Every structure is written in structure tokens, then in C-alpha cells.
Amino acid sequence: MSEALNDRIKDRIQGLSLEINKLLEERNALERLLIKADLYPGFAQTTKRKNSFQRGLAEERIISALKSSSKPMKAKDIFSKLDKVHLDFKESTFRSYLTRMKGKGLLIHNGEKPALWSLV
């Protein structure tokens, strides 16, 4: 077999492997979403997008963590209380959820660094 043909075949195999990996990642994300939808049917009915579902769950857990605390909490302390089994995201994503919740009027912070978050 010529070297050029050999290289083209190897390139095609590599391209297919990348496509397969992307499809497997999407399949795994959808399977996780199904599990979450079974565990939390209320959210499954009110959200249309995967990210909205995850954000809704996170918001519920953030509110629950703040309700269980007698005083305002640092973001890292709230993050450490979340159920990481069903909520798989980075701390930076979590911080964006806090900011969104502040924008919705659900949370406030004291303006200090590090901020102390509490329910409105």
C-alpha cells in the first residue's frame, strides 16, 4: 500500500475516533439528564434545556444550604455543601449561578471580598 493511502486511512480513522468520542460524551450527558429527570420530576417538566435543568437544581440546593445556615455564607462554603453526585459543574459555573440568582433578586451579598451570601 502506498504511504499516501496509508496516511489518508489513518487520518480518517482518527477523525472517526474523534466523532465517536463526541457522540459518546453527548450520550453520557443525556443519560445523566434522564437520571436527574427521574430523580427530580418537577424540574424535568419546567425546563427544556440541559443547562436550565442543572441550574434549577443548583439554585434549589443553594437556597437550601443558605436556609440551613443561621448566618451568611462564603461561596466556597455553599459550594462545598452541594450534592456533587447530581450536580457536576465547576466552581466558576457555581459562582455564575450565584450572580444570576442575585440578578433575579433571590440572593444578596455584603459587597466585601470574599462576599458573604444570604437569602433576600
The answer to whether residue 44 sits within a structural domain is: no
The pTM of the full predicted model, rounded to 2 decimals, is 0.59
- Asked whether residue 14 carries a pLDDT value surpassing 80, the answer given is yes
3-state secondary structure of 89: coil
Q: Residue 88 has what pLDDT? A: 72
pLDDT tens digits, residue range 53-92? 778 888 888 998 999 988 999 999 999 888 665 667 788 8
33 and 69 together in one domain: no
pLDDT tens digits, residue range 28-43? 877 777 776 776 666 5
Q: What's the rounded Cα separation, in Å, for the pair 58 and 103?
A: 15
The answer to whether residue 68 sits within a structural domain is: yes
Give the range of the structural domain holding residue 68, as residue numbers without chain letter.
49-120
- Is 39 within 8 Å of 60 (Cβ atoms)? no
Read out DSSP for 38-69?
HH-HHHHHH--SHHHHHHHHHHHHHHHHHHH-
The answer to whether residue 74 sits within a structural domain is: yes
3-state secondary structure of 107: strand
